[in-house]
A and B are shown apart, each in its own frame.
Chain A
Amino acid sequence: MYVLDSLVYRLRRGCETLPYPEGPPPALPERHGGALRLDGSKCAAGCTACLPVCPTEALTRPGPAPAQLDLGRCIFCAACVTACPTGAITPTGDYRLAARRREDLVLGGANGPETARLAAALDEKLRRLFGRSLRLRQVSAGGCNACEADTNVLSTIGWDLGRFGVQFVASPRHADGLLVTGPVSEGMELALRKTWEAVPEPRLVIAVGACAIAGGPFVGHPQVHNGAAAVVPVDLFIPGCPPHPLTILDGLLRLLGRLEQAAPGCAL
């Protein structure tokens, strides 16, 4: 009976794919703080209250300048938000976090921005190549399976990544780029390099999650390389531990130039 039953059931449910990006994005969970903002002008002179609570040493305060927050290292535990006596660090609720350059994720300090500088699209030539069809090979290099799981989610019916022409493929030979997770364990360095070499040029590398950007909770361990950029050149950094699927999708679409700058959902 399952054939009839499943057909009727499916018809009743209608389309289950998100209306985003044409419609509004799904709401983040209410206790998910989203991106962080650092207002350096609120940093009290000499205050280092946020530094010792950060598990990944994403916060630094080297001199008289305000505190500096590296969202690439950050695992978004929000311990600093609680620890800050002046409210300089606040969650914005914004799901958008992806950046093209590593330094664009560094907030505050001497002259850093208050929020992350979001990724710009690929240049015209690469956009014409990949903008409507991008095939990615995923490599987990010491990933804990959370970034992998929330990347996998994008291919389910709710998110339907295929409608943007983005697809995960089995062979690097069929791929236009790599999506890397994990801090790049020593054991995976060679495999990651070989997989990258097997992707035809021009090729992209997307680092997903705090581990792949900067080593995450394992930063500084001699068994890891503190992120994908130590082994291969990275074109897009998507922060989070793990990033929400919406954050990953936003990053991919932003890279491909599929989002207008004033996309709906900015007011989240």
Chain B
Amino acid sequence: MNARSEFLPLTNGGAVAWQEIPVWSVETLVEETAVALDDGARLCAWFGVPEGDGVSVVAVLARDAEGRLEVARSRPVRGGYPALTPRQTQAHLFERELWEQHGVKPEGHPWLKPVRRARNGAPLNGEFFRVEGTEVHEVAVGPVHAGIIEPGHFRFQCAGEEVLHLEIALGYQHRGVEEALPGGPHRATLAQMETVAGDTTVGHATAYATVMEALAGTEAPLRAQWLRALALELERLANHTGDLGALANDVAFLPTSAACGRIRGDFLNLTALICGNRFGRRLVTPGGCGFDLEPERAQRLLAGLDRAMGDLEHAAAWFWDSATVRARFEGVGAVSDRAAREIGLVGPAARACGLVRDVRYDHPAGWHRLAQVPVAVWPGGDVLARARVRWLEIQRSVQFLREQVPAGPEGPVRVPLPAPGGERLAVALVEGWRGEVCHVALTDAAGRFRRYKLVDPSFHNWTGLALALRGTAISDFPICNKSFNLSYCGADL
């Protein structure tokens, strides 16, 4: 082996032959990954591929500054291997998942327990980390929460009002998405991708379609890439608006809360104007888009966008003008930029820690190669910063739509897709409204899925919420939670 083992580079939306990917001993893979992460790379995915009676570990890294992805794999592992987590915190959930899915034990992992496995009707959460002391008490919340929200379990260790530690146990929403994919794509696959996280339908469907196109050695028609980019921003607008409203509601600032509830619906209806469904179902399909945005419809979209944004500017101005709102958010639930980097935060949560990290900018694929979106950052890492980043992104998304809706290229919106190539690995990253959506597909000799790895941004970011709560009053949990607004089903798959 060479003194310096090199990862195989590829670009977002690209595919490589499985045989081309460098194969190292698992110790080398751990070592090289740790070195690369120290050098500023990010861990996009770390997962197993069954091979004979062992499991090959695959690492997918992102070099944001160079706009490059990197991939390498290990020789089949049996039993265990020296864990990456003690050196690189951002691997901790990936390694727990690898252990749960394949029984490969990351030796030395400091907190090895299942991620989502169910037993006796409830996820097997194992022991929770406990803080000892006569003044310490424990608060357990969930899985069923107050309000219309997905289930998950939160275990707080508190001294009085102050949270010393929060452990988040998920898995209640596990529907077996990844397990169903080998041998696919099946006829329900697109519908399942659209519902990995229903509020990120366009994000996940775009990543899936991109992977399918990469495996087939082609790309979607340019007009489809344009339409996908528009739909992605509409999805971002609806969700960010809903989040601002939810944050306002949690600090009892009702004018903005009431207005945002309605305006969010106006944005959803713009997506429905394109495809009939408020969440963008059937809008993105492998090979293109299910619908076109004709010039007359585009005019109506722009008019609706102006109306909704006009209303939102009012609602947001009340919010930001109010000193009581700003005071409630300032300094609450802060995550340091160092911690954000260590745990591999993505999306608005990372940008609210001042990290310049956005797939649309760092790894442009599709229409984003032709039309860039500036990265909206805000320092501080607190609830205020996460709200501020959302408001900046709303403004940039509207600007992007105003510029790009009239700039659509001519041509078809979909083409028949050739069959996927055999024994190829494709990677697609998409900047969903929560952050980086990562799909990795590996085909067998016949071109069917051998392994399909999904990483929702929530998988990276739940740890961020846990850290945000440290030293925060437990009564501030709701606004911290809303400021992240992570997906349960996206993490549980």
Residues of chain A having any CB pair with chain B under 8 Å: 1-2, 5-6, 9-10, 16, 29-33, 52-56, 75, 77-78, 138-153, 155-158, 168, 170-171, 182-183, 185-191, 195, 211, 216-219, 221-224, 241-242, 244
Q: Are A156 and B265 in contact, CB atoms less than 8 angstroms apart? A: yes
Q: Does B201 contact A (CB under 8 A)?
A: yes
Interface size of B as a range? 35 or more
Q: Are B198 and A242 in contact, CB atoms less than 8 angstroms apart? A: yes
Whole-angstrom CA separation of A150 from B238 in the bound complex: 12
Q: Are A52 and B187 in contact, CB atoms less than 8 angstroms apart? A: yes
Q: Are B276 and A142 in contact, CB atoms less than 8 angstroms apart? A: no
Nearest chain B residue, comparing its CB with the CB of A52: B187
Q: Are A191 and B265 in contact, CB atoms less than 8 angstroms apart? A: no
Q: Does B175 contact A (CB under 8 A)?
A: yes
Q: Which of A1, A148, A224 contacts B148 (CB 8 A)?
A: A148
Q: Are A182 and B144 in contact, CB atoms less than 8 angstroms apart? A: no
Whole-angstrom CA separation of A144 from B279 in the bound complex: 11
B151: which A residues are within 8 A, CB to CB? 139-141, 187-188, 191
Q: Which of A31, A158, A221 contacts B276 (CB 8 A)?
A: A31
Q: Are B175 and A156 in contact, CB atoms less than 8 angstroms apart? A: no
Contacts known (A9-B314, A145-B489, A149-B199); A188 close to B143, Cβ less than 8 A: yes
Among B39-47, B220-228, B317-325, B386-394, the stretch in contact with A: B317-325
Q: Are B118 and A6 in contact, CB atoms less than 8 angstroms apart? A: no
Whole-angstrom CA separation of A148 from B261 in the bound complex: 14
Q: Are A145 and B198 in contact, CB atoms less than 8 angstroms apart? A: yes
Q: How far does the Cβ of B320 sit from chain A's closest Cβ, in whole Å?
A: 9
Among B11-19, B86-94, B267-275, B476-484, the stretch in contact with A: B267-275
Q: How far does the Cβ of B435 sit from chain A's closest Cβ, in whole Å?
A: 16
Nearest chain B residue, comparing its CB with the CB of A186: B118
Whole-angstrom CA separation of A230 from B274 in the bound complex: 36
Nearest chain B residue, comparing its CB with the CB of A172: B144
Contacts known (A2-B322, A31-B291, A183-B175); A241 close to B272, Cβ less than 8 A: no
Contacts known (A145-B198, A153-B265); A187 close to B150, Cβ less than 8 A: no
Q: Which of A156, A186, A222 contacts B121 (CB 8 A)?
A: A186
16 sample A-B contacts, Cβ–Cβ < 8 Å, listed by A number: A2-B317, A31-B291, A52-B187, A54-B187, A142-B173, A145-B199, A145-B488, A146-B201, A148-B198, A185-B492, A187-B121, A187-B492, A191-B122, A217-B192, A221-B179, A242-B278
Whole-angstrom CA separation of A187 from B187 in the bound complex: 25
Q: Which of A2, A55, A147, A168 contacts B318 (CB 8 A)?
A: A2
The interface bits of chain B over 143-161 (1 if a CB of A lies within 8 angstroms of the residue's CB, else 0) are 1101111110000000000
B123: which A residues are within 8 A, CB to CB? 187
B190: which A residues are within 8 A, CB to CB? 55
Q: Are B176 and A224 in contact, CB atoms less than 8 angstroms apart? A: yes
Q: Are B276 and A156 in contact, CB atoms less than 8 angstroms apart? A: no
Whole-angstrom CA separation of A157 from B315 in the bound complex: 14
Q: Which of A145, A189, A218 contacts B192 (CB 8 A)?
A: A218
Q: How far does the Cβ of B269 sit from chain A's closest Cβ, in whole Å?
A: 7
B262: which A residues are within 8 A, CB to CB? 16, 156-158
Whole-angstrom CA separation of A5 from B177 in the bound complex: 48
The interface bits of chain B over 246-280 (1 if a CB of A lies within 8 angstroms of the residue's CB, else 0) are 00000000010010011001000100111111110
B116: which A residues are within 8 A, CB to CB? 187
Q: Which of B143, B175, B188, B318 contacts A224 (CB 8 A)?
A: B175
Whole-angstrom CA separation of A183 from B269 in the bound complex: 26
Whole-angstrom CA separation of A148 from B487 in the bound complex: 12
Q: Are A187 and B172 in contact, CB atoms less than 8 angstroms apart? A: yes
Q: Are A56 and B188 in contact, CB atoms less than 8 angstroms apart? A: yes
Whole-angstrom CA separation of A55 from B180 in the bound complex: 14
B179: which A residues are within 8 A, CB to CB? 221, 223
Whole-angstrom CA separation of A10 from B259 in the bound complex: 10
Q: Which of B120, B187, B273 contacts A55 (CB 8 A)?
A: B187
Q: Are A29 and B148 in contact, CB atoms less than 8 angstroms apart? A: no
Nearest chain B residue, comparing its CB with the CB of A194: B144
Q: Which of A31, A150, A187, A221 contacts B180 (CB 8 A)?
A: A221
Nearest chain A residue, comparing its CB with the CB of B253: A2
Q: Does B376 contact A (CB under 8 A)?
A: no
Q: Which of B176, B191, B314, B318 contacts A77 (CB 8 A)?
A: B191
B261: which A residues are within 8 A, CB to CB? 153, 155-158
Question: With A144-B195, A218-B175 given, can you name 13 additional A-B contacts, CB distance below 8 Å?
Answer: A5-B314, A29-B269, A31-B291, A32-B276, A32-B277, A55-B190, A142-B489, A143-B150, A171-B146, A187-B492, A218-B195, A219-B188, A223-B179
Q: Does B73 contact A (CB under 8 A)?
A: no
Nearest chain A residue, comparing its CB with the CB of B192: A217
